[in-house]
Amino acid sequence: MKPAIRAVLTATISVALALSAGAQAKSGKADSSKAQGGEKTVEEAYLQESAENMMVKELSRSDDKDGKLVALAYARKAMDAGRKSDEVRNSLEYLALENTQVIVRSGGLGVSTNNFPDVRMKACEYLGDFPSVETKDTLVKVILNSKIEDPMVLAEAIRSLGRIGMNDNDEVVDAIAYSVNHFAKVGMSEDRLAVYTMFAFTDLADKGGIKDMGTVTSTLMNFTKGNYVTPVKKLAMQTLEKLAQIQSKNNSSKK
């Protein structure tokens, strides 16, 4: 383990222990029956989450990739346990926007030293489990950076936007179309990006969130052309048919 990561973990654990000692001093002896049964007191649960949030925050802002990967691991553990706090979400948003809003250069010059697309990809994936306006706005910022962002990061951000399902005034649909059409304009056919876009459009339509299908239709038609693999082209046609059915159902329910 690198010294920087060890220092962060040591400091965080020390704070957690100090808080724990303080809580025990205030609360006195815990209920013995709960202790024997392995149940946590309210104070213990709060302290665990506080220490967890602190570690995710500090490690996500570390200078090296290893620290950020450890932050993602702690975030995943918290999410799996149902602890989806605003603090964890904020740290994931920070990681997702690195190289977009947060760019670090050695001596202020040269290439960025915090360009870790695999970290940003995972952060974007995890943000799909935090449906909120703030999360949606973060992911939109990511995909609007399509001229320099890695396609695998864009793909996960687009997939998560579909899972979140927010699309006021077709804001998200327009952002997705802008992102993927950029690659079509420069002659790049990103199959994974196309597939995740189709998933996102379907999710948004299922939630009744697409007002104007024109942008969606033209984007999907682009997937039927170019250098996309045959399964992607077939999926584009199937998605067009499915979206037509969903929109017809949505329109009928509004009558």
User: CA angle at residue 174 from 171 to 179, to 5 degrees?
Assistant: 125
Mean pLDDT of 41-50: 60
Give per-residue pLDDT as tens, 158-215: 999 999 999 999 999 999 999 998 887 766 778 999 999 999 999 999 987 788 899 9
Neighbour tally for 152: CB within 10 Å: 17
From 41-55, 77-91, 149-163, 195-209, the region with the lowest mean pLDDT: 41-55
pLDDT at 217 over 50: yes
Give per-residue pLDDT as tens, 135-160: 999 999 999 988 888 999 999 999 99
Phi and psi at residue 210, to the nearest 5° = -115, 120
Q: Please give the DSSP secondary-structure letter assigned to residue 105.
A: B
The residue to which tokens 């984007």 are assigned:
219
Q: In 3-state terms, what secondary structure has residue 224? A: coil
Answer yes or no: are the C-beta atoms of 172 and 154 closer than 8 Å.
Answer: no
How confident is residue 41, by pLDDT bands cut at 50, 70 and 90?
low
Q: Which two tokens stand for residue 187?
A: 């002659």
Phi and psi at residue 90, to the nearest 5° = -60, -40
Domain ranges in the chain? 1-28+40-115, 117-255
Q: How far apart are CA 210 and CA 251, in angstroms?
A: 11
Confidence (pTM)? 0.80
